[in-house]
């Protein structure tokens, strides 16, 4: 039976990338019943919202979506579609595999890690108090009453870092489940529990408890600064890494850099009711309509979607074909060539053609 999936082209280079990805995913032979829905700058211009209700309803109905990037114009007053999506659908787990494919220039060719980032809590929960407001002053005084050693300087802005048992447990479980389902051997939890005992310390103690339910998967923990040091010296020692929101955000981009750039890094935002697959990079608006940018990150997000849908064989075939096209280095976009003005670089669409051809050989 065909899989019903919400297809969101997005804006900027999004529609070109989605079209390339859709063609490759279909070429695996898996059948899809696409429900195409708008989001981003273009629909904002027409309808005054970057994320219409019909798009949200479609994702809720189908439970699975794949999305091209969407622009968030600075100072426009419209909120990021990705933040809205995460909030509305409680997509609490952000999964970002970072694998260095042969043929890509990177100093870290051994890298094959999966970053699992908590998406809803931590310093990104949006609980903030602006300096010199009544609320910030009240909070400052209240904290000093609660704890006489808690001195906060005058004229301070304050951001709150909540980390709950519920949030920690479900993200760590999602990392272990991912490890189990994808044949991974180890989960490392990253934190700064030596300094932030009641937030990161809680995350760590919950992680240790959850690990006991997964005796088949090795577990270890690392202090976040040490993890960063080790990732760039011994990346081969890491497998699945689970982190609270802020560290996860930073380490995700570190991982993308280690594998050769944003154009190669896929992602999935997963919740209990829905999962949304999309590239790590943005809409690269300056290349809009030029058939130029690299579709690998979105195509690999398509591989993650196939895995999520239980289409393991198709996912493996598609990933192998992408890897092979990159290894050969002929039909690849400018960013994967030795120099950025290499005349042999192909466009987004031709890259997809090469992957389809590779899958059919």
Q: Give which of 19, 80, 75, 86 is closest to 49, Cα–Cα.
A: 80
What is the smallest separation between the CB atom of 341 and ligand NAD, expressed in angstroms?
A: 14
Task: Verify whether residue 192 is a known catalytic residue.
Answer: yes
Query: Is the CB of 161 or the CB of 337 nearer to ligand NAD?
Result: 337
CB environment 332-347: b (16+ within 10 A), e (fewer): bbbbbbeeeeeeebbb
* Contact positions vs ligand NAD (CB under 6 A): 69-72, 82, 262-263, 278, 281-286, 293-294, 297, 335
Point out the catalytic residue in the list 44, 192, 238, 335: 192
Tokens found for residue 23:
């063609």
Query: Is the CB of 163 or the CB of 355 nearer to ligand NAD?
Result: 355
CB-nearest residue to ligand NAD: 282
- Helix, strand, or coil here: 154? coil
By CB atoms closer than 10 A (0-12, 13-18, 19+), residue 264 is buried
What is the smallest separation between the CB atom of 192 and ligand NAD, expressed in angstroms?
A: 26
What is the smallest separation between the CB atom of 279 and ligand NAD, expressed in angstroms?
A: 7
What is the smallest separation between the CB atom of 188 and ligand NAD, expressed in angstroms?
A: 25
Beta bridge partners of 187: 219, 240
Query: Is the CB of 40 or the CB of 63 nearer to ligand NAD?
Result: 40
How much of the chain is helix, strand and coil, in % rounded to 5? 45, 15, 40
Point out the catalytic residue in the list 124, 238, 247, 334: 124
- Note whether 304 and 296 are within 8 A (CB): no
Helices within the chain (DSSP H only): 14-27, 41-47, 53-62, 81-89, 134-146, 165-181, 200-211, 224-231, 245-258, 296-308, 312-328, 348-360
d(CA 304, CA 97): 9
Query: Is the CB of 72 or the CB of 230 nearer to ligand NAD?
Result: 72
d(CA 210, CA 219): 10
Query: Is the CB of 229 or the CB of 290 nearer to ligand NAD?
Result: 290
Task: Verify whether residue 124 is a known catalytic residue.
Answer: yes
Tokens found for residue 316:
């493996």
Point out the catalytic residue in the list 249, 292, 334, 335: 249
Task: Verify whether residue 249 is a known catalytic residue.
Answer: yes
What is the smallest separation between the CB atom of 333 and ligand NAD, expressed in angstroms?
A: 6
Active site residues: 124, 192, 225, 249
């Amino acid at each position: 039976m065909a899989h019903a999936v919400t297809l969101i082209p997005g804006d900027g280079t999004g529609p070109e990338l989605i079209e390339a990805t859709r063609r490759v995913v279909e070429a695996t032979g898996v059948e899809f019943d696409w429900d195409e829905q708008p989001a981003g700058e273009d629909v904002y211009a027409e309808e005054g919202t970057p994320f219409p209700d019909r798009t949200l309803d479609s994702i809720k109905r189908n439970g699975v979506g794949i999305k091209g990037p969407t622009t968030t114009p600075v100072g426009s007053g419209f909120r990021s579609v990705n933040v809205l999506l995460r909030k509305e659908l409680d997509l609490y787990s952000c999964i970002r595999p970072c694998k260095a494919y042969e043929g890509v220039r990177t100093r870290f060719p051994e890298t094959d890690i999966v970053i699992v980032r908590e998406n809803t809590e931590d310093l990104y929960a949006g609980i903030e108090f602006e300096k010199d407001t009544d609320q910030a002053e009240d909070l400052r005084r209240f904290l000093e009453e609660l704890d006489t050693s808690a001195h906060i300087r005058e004229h301070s802005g304050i951001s709150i870092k909540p980390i709950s048992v519920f949030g920690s447990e479900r993200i760590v479980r999602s990392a272990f489940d991912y490890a189990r389902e994808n044949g991974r051997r180890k989960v490392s939890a990253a934190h700064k529990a030596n300094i932030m005992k009641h937030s990161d310390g809680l995350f760590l103690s919950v992680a240790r408890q959850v690990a006991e339910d997964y005796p088949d998967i090795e577990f270890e923990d690392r202090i976040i600064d040490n993890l960063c040091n080790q990732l760039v010296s011994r990346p081969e020692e890491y497998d699945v890494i689970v982190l609270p929101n802020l560290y996860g955000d930073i380490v995700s981009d570190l991982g993308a850099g280690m594998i050769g750039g944003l154009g190669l890094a896929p992602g999935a935002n997963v919740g209990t009711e829905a999962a949304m697959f999309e590239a790590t990079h943005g809409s690269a608006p300056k290349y809009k309509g030029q058939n130029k940018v690299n579709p690998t990150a979105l195509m690999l997000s398509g591989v993650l979607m196939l895995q999520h849908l239980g289409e393991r064989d198709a996912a493996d075939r598609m990933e192998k074909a992408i890897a092979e096209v990159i290894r050969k280095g002929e039909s690849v976009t400018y960013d994967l060539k030795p120099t950025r003005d290499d005349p042999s670089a192909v466009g987004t669409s031709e890259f997809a053609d090469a992957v389809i051809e590779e899958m059919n050989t």
